[in-house]
Chains A and B, each alone.
Chain A
Amino acid sequence: MSMNLPLVESKCIADAAAGSKVAFARLVDLHQQAVRAFLRRLCGNWAEADDLAQDVFLDAWLKLASYRAEHPFRVWLCAMAYRKFLMHRRSFWRRLKRETAATAEASLLEGLSDRNAWLDLRRAMQSFPNEQRAVLALCVAADWSHSEAAQALGLPLGTIKSHVQRGRIQLAKYLIGYAPSESKLTDKPVSELMSTEDE
């Protein structure tokens, strides 16, 4: 009989806080999907996002003792991921590395069906301010509740709701009447599309 997931999680948190690497590995495995997907949508670059996600888990390992169960663990992790993302964006050298990685990643996408639509979505996401992008990545893409997103991002509930409402409308503009396998926004090469834009 499989154990209840929250029970498994809380046991893993307690064990990992006591120093168990096996429990920590289980925690990483349980939450890597949510954290990586969130960061991939924020960064617009998988290599950079996965690198950041590893950093988030390493910080989590060090700060596990300070975790309080009043918020779900994934909310705590995504809050850390968002702070790390904001700090990461400020660094010039990392930005240079990110742009190099984006060019490398672009070559992997050649031949993917619906590639242009996906790249347009990423491009649209990158055009939003960091805060709104984070809200869309959590509430629209990952179906988080508004209150969970408010906890993770440290924003008022009203701000979350207005970001979601405006973001949905803006994103829909990119997709209405979209012809599959054809970029509606631009005819620029993929490598150029992949490079992220900073505000």
Chain B
Amino acid sequence: MNSSERLQFLWQRDVPPPSDMTFVLATLQRMERRRLRRGVLSVLCAGLISIAALWWSAPELLESLEPVFIELQSAASVEFFVATAILAIIVLYEWRSFR
């Protein structure tokens, strides 16, 4: 075996199989994770921007909503809403991944 053939032989070690479904599926799952992350981030950003805009243009509207927030907090509903939101994100992710 000459040096050129030997080089080719050694380089073949770096070549993955021609078809690798594990890699393909891992790539698609990563794509879904990235899309979901972007989706969640954009929803959060949109929410924050809306609140900031509302606070700037109509502060009295936010003040009028304050009793509702206090009511929700006293009824221990905040935890329930947060848990529901997390569950919804997980379900959405799983649904998109295996669609």
Query: Which residues of A pack against B, CB within 8 Å?
Result: 21, 24-25, 28-29, 32-33, 36-37, 40-41, 46, 50, 53-54, 57-58, 61, 114, 117-118, 121, 140-141, 171-172, 175-176, 178
For B, the interface residue count at a CB cutoff of 8 angstroms equals 24
Query: When chains A and B are docked, how far (Å) is the Cα of A128 from the Cα of B31?
Result: 33
Tell me the smallest distance from the CB of A20 to a CB of chain B, in Å: 12
B24 within 8 A of A: yes
Query: Which residues of B pack against A, CB within 8 Å?
Result: 3-4, 6-8, 10-11, 13-21, 23-24, 26-28, 30-31, 34
Q: Which chain A positions have C-beta within 8 A of B19? A: 29
With CB as the reference atom, state the residue of chain B lying closest to A114: B10
- From DSSP, what is the main secondary structure of chain A's interface residues? helix
Residue of A29, A33, A57, A121 near B15 (CB, 8 A) is: A33
Asked if B16 contacts A33 (CB within 8 A), the reply is: yes
Given contacts A28-B27, A54-B26, A58-B30, contact A175 B11 (CB under 8 A): no
Tell me the smallest distance from the CB of A101 to a CB of chain B, in Å: 16
Tell me the smallest distance from the CB of B19 to a CB of chain A, in Å: 6
Asked if B6 contacts A175 (CB within 8 A), the reply is: yes
